[in-house]
Amino acid sequence: MKFGKFGSSIILAVLYAALARGTPMPFAAKHATHHVREISSDLKLESYHPPTSYQTFGSGIDHPLRKRQDATVESSSVAFVESQLGVKTEEVNVKSTAETEEASHAYLQQKLNGIPFANAVANVAFNKNNQVVAFGSSFVRPSKAASSIPSIKVEEAIATAERTLNGKFLVEEFPAPTLEYLAKEDGTASLTHVFQVRNEDGTTWYEAFVDAHTGELVSITDFTANAAYRVIPITSHSPVDGFKTVTDPQDTTASPRGWHSNGNSITTETAGNNAISYIGKHKNTTAQSGPGLQFIYKHDPSKEPFHGKNADAARVNAFYVVNTVHDISYKYGFTEKTFNFQNNNFGKGGKGGDRVNVSVQDNNGTNNAMFATPPDGQNGAMVMFLWDLSIPGRDGALGNDVIAHENTHGITNRMTGGGTGRCLQTTEARGLGEGWSDAFAEWTEQKSATIKDWTIASYLLDNMSGVRFFPYSTDTKTNPLRYFELSRQTEVHIIGEVWANMLHNVYAALVKKYGFSKTAHTDPTGGEGNIVFLHIFMDSLSLQPCNPTFVNARDAWIQADVNRYGGANRCLLWTIFASRGLGVKADSSYADDTTVPSDCAA
Ligand SMILES: *[C@@H]1O[C@H](CO)[C@@H](O)[C@H](O)[C@H]1NC(C)=O
Ligand SMILES: *[C@@H]1O[C@H](CO)[C@@H](O)[C@H](O)[C@H]1NC(C)=O
Ligand SMILES: *[C@@H]1O[C@H](CO)[C@@H](O)[C@H](O)[C@H]1NC(C)=O
Ligand SMILES: *[C@@H]1O[C@H](CO)[C@@H](O)[C@H](O)[C@H]1NC(C)=O
Ligand SMILES: [Ca+2]
Ligand SMILES: [Zn+2]
């Protein structure tokens, strides 16, 4: 088979270069031809689409049947493809045609042994002057093709796909299964049984390609669009860092049915299994801006929070951050069994019916935010106010750090003392609560092994100093806070600053020792310092007593390290805590003590 003229020679070069090397293509080189889909937590499937050549021709070029009165779009396009690619008539099949105001279009498939290819296709467009104005092709020249007679029965193929994709082939509703060739990355062509499989609630809907000779599920078409949210990414601080459209941010381990389904019903608004975000006064959620869970609302920073689409952007961002915190904390241990916030627990323990209600632009306050944590089984309530310290005013729901801080109150109040919501009530325990909330928010925003000094709420206050007295820092000149501060403070946020700064120092020390994982938000399995930090952080919450003191919380950290890491970080933890006065002899007098256990002494 001869491949002709424009562009296609380059395609072949690319194709065969990849073949010859036999090495995996670099990541970005796969964007145009591959897509990896995470079907479930333990199944990833990579689909392959042969490289496409595409040319446009301005005012048009001729095709072989242009002068023929009886030529149709179908016959003209087949003749054109034959002339361009050197294929025979029986190797081309017209799948469909379409008429638009300005052009006629034909969509073709490559055929082999009378059977069409699913992923080797072409399209030809003719202008009103009956000249070709566009031609695209992903036709292939297979090195080897499977027999056109299947050796696996279609029923068997369906059973495999239904099991693997956790859905059903609906005989009454779906088109009958077909046989199609599938061009593979290794240059061969497989024969496949092709049919649709959808799960009960319609959140997944695939076309399955099962090899008709091996019985393996070899590829899928995903009919659902990616969910997309225009938000301030979780590692960013505020609108100042910019909005981005993130696609499919949901984690399928933490949120097995995604962010818009509880497994029984699906929504197309800022409401789902983990959270609902709405404007406080009317309880209105934001609906998708386009089909397939697109939430694209442009925020205008020059306008007030109520103006135009700003309220939508705020609800979408709050929904995104709360769901992301759900998914991150889930992976580090805040699950159904440890009393998290979900409507449906999918039979995994704990009480459901308690997703987080997020009230955005709540009009019962200003310049603040709140989180109420009733016992497991009742909704968490996050309340985000507007901030009027700048012109225009700012929306609490766009301060990612403040949302993460509030959300962490839910985590710590549920995990401490077994889901009662009763165990962070003393001044010292509430102070710890404020500290964990700042520390978790900081964790989400540190981006590299250089742990930077960090402040909270700088965007909402429109002041880089943020809302606390000192930035969190390892430098005692930048942040001098020590344990003895508790002897003269009663305000819980100030007490919290002392704890959060100790944790900042622990964080920096662990990252210094073990490095930094850039995938820690989604992958908690590594040994990097930021991963170790969050594991000990979360593990310690379930270990500590009801209404813990600083001393108790420190002991729970050291115990959590024993449980998970065999005490590998015992001296590191003691050294950091002692460096800020929470040493071995620290007690309820709140006097600073810098003693470490004798085996940790330098
Ligand atoms: C504000 O407070 C009132 C009464 O305290 C309550 O009914 C209402 O739900 C609260 N939230 C909003 C957004 O008004
Ligand atoms: C919310 O709902 C109320 C009452 O249904 C309606 O008047 C208002 O325009 C809605 N507001 C937004 C921001 O969607
Ligand atoms: C949360 O919202 C639900 C309705 O979705 C309501 O029934 C419940 O009372 C709310 N809970 C809190 C604590 O705001
Ligand atoms: C920012 O906050 C700090 C600390 O409260 C204050 O000293 C400073 O004046 C503020 N800056 C501005 C520009 O308001
Ligand atoms: Ca729960
Ligand atoms: Zn707080």
Q: Give CA–CA dist 580/558, Å, rounded.
A: 16
Give 66's DSSP letter.
Answer: T
Residues 122-126: what's their mean pLDDT? 91
Domains 53-139 and 145-222 share a fold: yes
Tokens representing 468 are 């606390």
Nearest CA, atom 13, ligand 1: 280
Select the more confidently predicted residue: 510 or 23.
Answer: 510
- Kindly state which CATH superfamily the domain 9-30+438-600 is placed in: Neutral Protease Domain 2 (1.10.390.10)
Task: Give pLDDT tens digits for 249-282.
Answer: 999 899 998 999 888 888 999 999 999 999 998 8
State which of 282, 288, 315, 386 you would mutate to test the pocket of ligand 2, scoring each by most atoms of that ligand within 8 A of its C-beta.
Answer: 282
The kind and range of the H/E element at 424 are none
Tokens representing 257 are 């049915």
Residue 25's pLDDT is what?
46
* Class for the domain spanning 228-415: alpha beta
Residue 389's pLDDT is what?
93
Residues 308-334: what's their mean pLDDT? 97
Q: Is the CB of 463 under 6 A from ligand 4?
A: yes
Pick the catalytic residue: 207, 269, 336, 406?
406
434 is known to lie in a ligand binding site: yes
* Long-range contacts of 32-37, Cβ-Cβ distance < 8 Å, separation of 24 or more: 34/185, 37/220, 37/222
Residue 6's pLDDT is what?
30
Q: Is the CB of 465 under 6 A from ligand 4?
A: yes
Residue 203's pLDDT is what?
58
Residue 382's pLDDT is what?
95
Tell me what percent of the residues of the chain surpass a pLDDT of 90: 77
* Class for the domain spanning 145-222: alpha beta
pLDDT at 16 over 50: no
Q: Is the CB of 283 under 6 A from ligand 1?
A: no
Residue 312 CA: nearest ligand 2 atom is 13
Banded pLDDT at 1 (limits 50, 70, 90) = very low
Residue 358's pLDDT is what?
97
CATH number of 53-139: 3.10.450
Residues 473-500: what's their mean pLDDT? 96
Ligand nearest to C-alpha 272: 3
Nearest CA, atom 3, ligand 2: 282
Tell me what percent of the residues of the chain surpass a pLDDT of 70: 94
409 is known to lie in a ligand binding site: yes
C-alpha to C-alpha distances, 592 to 410, 481, 508, nearest whole angstrom: 30, 11, 22
pLDDT at 112 over 50: yes
Q: Which of 89-98, 122-131, 212-221, 342-351 has the highest mean pLDDT?
A: 342-351
Residues 84-93: what's their mean pLDDT? 93
Residue 24's pLDDT is what?
41
Task: Give pLDDT tens digits for 25-46.
Answer: 455 567 777 777 777 767 788 8
The kind and range of the H/E element at 110 are strand 103-112
Q: Do residues 489 and 495 lie in contact, with contact meaning Cβ atoms separated by under 8 Å? A: yes
63 is known to lie in a ligand binding site: no
Q: Determine whether 406 is an active site residue.
A: yes
Q: Where are the domains of the chain?
A: 9-30+438-600, 53-139, 145-222, 228-415
Residues 172-181: what's their mean pLDDT? 90
Task: Select from 228, 178, 177, 224 the least CA-distant residue to 199.
Answer: 224
State which of 379, 383, 409 you would mutate to test the pocket of ligand 3, scoring each by most atoms of that ligand within 8 A of its C-beta.
Answer: 379
The kind and range of the H/E element at 58 are strand 53-61
Confidence (pTM): 0.76
Neighbours of ion ligand 6 (CB under 5 A): 434, 437
- Number of residues that make up the chain: 602
Residue 41's pLDDT is what?
67
The phi, psi pair for 158, rounded to 5°, reads: -65, -45
Q: Give CA–CA dist 433/541, Å, rounded.
A: 10
State which of 284, 357, 413 you would mutate to test the pocket of ligand 3, scoring each by most atoms of that ligand within 8 A of its C-beta.
Answer: 357
Residue 12's pLDDT is what?
28
